[in-house]
Amino acid sequence: MTGRAGRGTGRLALALEPWVYLSPALVMLGLVMFVPLVVGFTYAFQDIRLLNPLAGGWVGLKNFETLAGDKNFRVALVNTVWWTVGSVALQFLFGLGLAMLLNRAFWGKRLVQAVVFLPWAVPTFLSGLTFAWLLNPVIGPVPHWLFAMGILEEPYNILGNPDLAMWGPIAANVWFGVPFFAITLLAALQAIPSEMYESAAIDGATAWQGFVQVTLPYLAPMIAITVLLRTIWIANFADLIIVMTNGGPANATQILPSYIFTTAYRKLDFGYASAIAMALLLLLFLYAVLLHQMRKVFRSTA
Amino acid sequence: MRKLTLAATVALLTGAGGASAQTLSLVEVITSPPRTEQLRAMVDQFEAANPGVTVEITSLPWGQAFERLATMVQGGQTPDVVEMPDRWLSLYANAGQLVDLTPFLAEWDGTAELTDATKSFGSVISGQTHMIPYGFYLRAMFWNKKLFAEAGLDRAPETLQEFYDFSAKIAELDGKYGYCLRGGPGATNGYIMMMLNFLGENKYFNEDGTSTLDDPKAIEGLQFIVDMYQNGLVPRDSVNWGFNEIVAGFYSGTCAMLDQDPDALIAIKERMPAEDFAVAPMPLGPAGKSFPTIGYAGWSIFEASEHKDVAFDLIAHLSSREMNLEWSKFVGVIPIHVGAEQDPFFTGPNFEGWFVEINDDRWEPTSMPTYLEEFGYFADVVSIQGGQEALLGQRTAEEVATEWADYLTPAQQKWLAAQ
C-alpha cells in the first residue's frame, strides 16, 4: 500500500546498488588512469616547459606538425618496431622452448626452475649495465668470443656500431624476458590433458604432429594474450636502451619511449613529448585492435 | 621527503628547546658514497658550531639528478641549499628560483679571499650572484709514459699536429690507440675545445649573437676529430664512450692519452702507479693557443627557503678556506681561494698540467655558454647525436657544425635581447 512510488524507488535503488559497490573502484580508476591520460592528451596541444609553466599556452596542432617533419621521430618509429618485433619473437621462441623442456619430470627440476626464472627478478638497470660491460672489449668477454667465432672482424663493441647496436639491448631484453614467457606457457602446457597426446599417439601422430595439432591449439589463447601484453610492454620499455646506449650511436637505438624521455626531461619540452606519446599510444591501440580482430577470426575458423 | 617534513614538524614542536631550532635541507647532486660522507663530516662541524641547527642531506645520483631536482622543485619540496652545477645555474637563476647572494657576500669577511674567477663564475645575470663555486674542473692531457716509450716517444705532444702524429705512432702498436676519445655522454667539451683551438679565439658568438661554430676554421677542428676516428687513431668503440669508459680505456692501457679534469686523477691513481703517467697542458692549436674547458659547481640557496640567513651561514662555512681546501682535495677540483695552489698537495708533478694552463697566457680556460637555458639540451643531446653522426660518417663535419650553430644562434640572440 505504500504504493508504486515506493516500489519505483526500490527498483531504482536496486539498479544503482551494484554501482554504489563499484564506486570506490571506479573513482580510483578514474583518478589514476583517466585523469592523467586526459591531462597528457591536453599537454600535446600546448607549449609546456618544466621550469617555466607560464610560457606558451595552447598551440593547436603545432606539435603534431613538427612531428610530421621530424626525421628523428621516423628513425625512432622504425627502431621501435625493430626492437619490439626482435625482442618479442626471440623471447617467445626461447620461452616456448624452455617451457617444453621444463614440462617433464627430471631430477632437480625445482632447482632448475628457480634458476631459470631468476633473470625476471634482476632489476633491469643492473642487467643493462652488466650487458653493457659484457659487450665492452676492454673488460667483457663477449666481443672476443664473437671475434674467435668469426662473427666480428675484430673484437669491438657492437654498441658502437650503428648497424649492430640494437642487438645489444635486444640480447639483454631476451635474457630478461624469456622467464616470463616460460612461466606463462608452462602453466598453459600443464593444463593440457594428457589423454589428448595419448589419443593422438594411438592415431599414429608423430611428435611434430602432436606439437602442431595438440600443443599449439591448446596454447594459442595464452600465446595470443602474452604476445599482446609483452608487445605493448616492450614497445614502452626504454630502461635497457637508456642504460646501455642512451639511444646512440647517432640515434641507432633511439625508440619512441626513449625519444619521449629525452624530449621531456632533456629538452624540457613536455608539449612535444606528449605529442610523440600520443603517436605511440595510437600505434599500440591500432596494434591491439588488429590482434583482437585476428583472435576473432582465428576463433571462428577453429 | 616525508622524513624531512616530519623532522621539520618535530623541530617546530620541540621549538621550546631553543628559539633557533631549525632544519636545513641540502641536496647533493653529484653523489658517491664517500663524497656524501665527506660532505656530512663538513656539515657536522657546522652543526656543532651552530647549536639548534640540523642539516639533512639528500643525495641524488648524478645521472638522474636533473629531473629529480626539477621534480622536487615543481612538487614544492624545494630544498634550502643545493649543490648547483654550472650548466643548471642559468636555468634556475633566470626562473627566479635562486637567492641573489650579492648582499650576503658584501657582508661576509671571506669574500675578499675568493679568486676573481670564483666571483665571476657565480654570476650569470649581471650584477647578481646566485652561487658560490666550490672549485673548478679544468681539462688537461693525461699521458701514459709506458705506451709512449713503446712507441719511441718520450714527451707529451705540445701542438695538435704532434698530438695527431703521436697518436698515429701509438696506433701502430697492436691493439693500442693514441687517444681516449669521448663520443658518448659528455662528448661536448672535446668537440668545442677542438673547434675553438682551430678558430684560435675564445669566442662562441659574434656581437650579433651568431654562433662561431660554423666558421670554416671551427669546422676544421671538428673534422680533425672525425679524421682521428675514421683513420683508426682512437678506439672504434669510443663513439659511445662516456666518462667511465675513457678512464678505463686509459688505465687499462688501451689508449695512451686522455683529456680530463682533476677528478679523474682519483680513479686513475688507484689503478696506475704514479710514475707511469703524467698530466701535460692541452696541446696548442694552429694559432698557438689552446682553450681547455673549465667547469664548476657550487652552492646555491633556493628563494623558497624559509631560513635564508642560516642557509648562507652554511654555504659560507663550506666555502671557508679550510673547508674548501679539504673539499677540493677530496673531490678533485682547483680550489677557490687566492694562493690555494701553494698547498703541498697541489705542487706534485701530477698537477703540473693544470697549473701551466692557469699561469701561462697561451692557455685560456674557456667556459661553455652554460648561461643559455637551451645549452643543457645541446650538451646532452644535440652535440652528442650530431658528433656521433659525424664520426660514423653519416653526415659531414660541416653539416653537423652548421646544425649546432643554427641551434645556438637563436638561443644566444634570445638571451642578448633579454639582457
User: What are the DSSP calls for A68-93, one per residue?
Assistant: HT-HHHHHHHHHHHHHHHHHHHHHHH
CB contact under 8 A, A52 and B95: yes
Q: How far apart are CA B299 and CA B301, in angstroms?
A: 7
Q: What is the pTM of this model?
A: 0.76
Residues of A within 8 A of B229 (CB-CB) are none
pLDDT band at B16 (very low <50, low <70, confident <90, very high): very low
* All CATH 3.40.190.10 domain ranges in chain B, comma separated: 6-137+296-346, 138-294+352-418
**Which pLDDT tens digit goes with each residue over B315-326?**
999 999 999 999
Nearest Cβ partner for A266 among B184, B377, B392: B377
Task: Report pLDDT for B3.
Answer: 46
B392/A162 touch (CB, cutoff 8 Å), yes or no: yes
The pLDDT assigned to B141 comes to 95
Which CATH number among 3.40.50.1970, 3.40.190.10, 3.40.50.800, 3.40.50.300 corresponds to the domain B6-137+296-346?
Answer: 3.40.190.10
Where does chain A have alpha helices with state H?
3-29, 35-43, 62-68, 71-102, 109-116, 124-134, 142-148, 167-190, 194-202, 207-210, 216-235, 239-244, 256-265, 270-301
Per-residue confidence band for A297, with pLDDT thresholds at 50, 70 and 90: confident
Instruction: Report the pLDDT value the prediction gives residue B358, as an integer from 0 to 100.
Output: 76
Instruction: Answer yes or no: is pLDDT of A66 > 70.
Output: yes
Tell me the per-residue pLDDT of A253-266, one tens digit each, with 9 for 90 and over: 999 999 998 888 88
Residue-level pLDDT at B119: 86
CA angle A283, B67, B389 (to 5 degrees): 65
Average pLDDT along chain A? 86
Share of chain B above pLDDT 70, in %: 95
The confidence score (pLDDT) of residue B343 equals 85
Residues from chain B contacting residue A245 (CB–CB below 8 Å): 240
More reliable by pLDDT, A153 or B403: B403
A108-130 tens-digit pLDDT = 888 888 888 888 889 999 999 99
Q: Do B392 and A250 touch (CB under 8 A)?
A: yes
pLDDT on residue B20: 54
Residue B10 has pLDDT above 70, yes or no: no
Tell me which amino acid residue B263 is.
D
Predicted confidence (pLDDT) at residue B101 exceeds the cutoff of 90: yes
Mean pLDDT of B8-15: 43
Distance, in angstroms, between A156 CA and closest chain B CA? Answer: 6
**pLDDT, tens only, A7-17:** 667 788 888 88
* Residue B401 confidence (pLDDT): 96
ipTM value for the complex = 0.75
Nearest-CA distance from A45 to chain B in Å? 21
Contact status, residue A243 vs residue A124, Cβ threshold 8 Å: yes
Class of domain B138-294+352-418: alpha beta
Q: What is the pLDDT of residues B364-394, one digit of tens each?
A: 888 889 888 888 889 988 999 999 999 999 9
B188 touches chain A (CB under 8 A): no
On the question of pLDDT at B17 being above 50, the answer is no
What pLDDT, on the 0 to 100 scale, is given for residue B57? Answer: 95
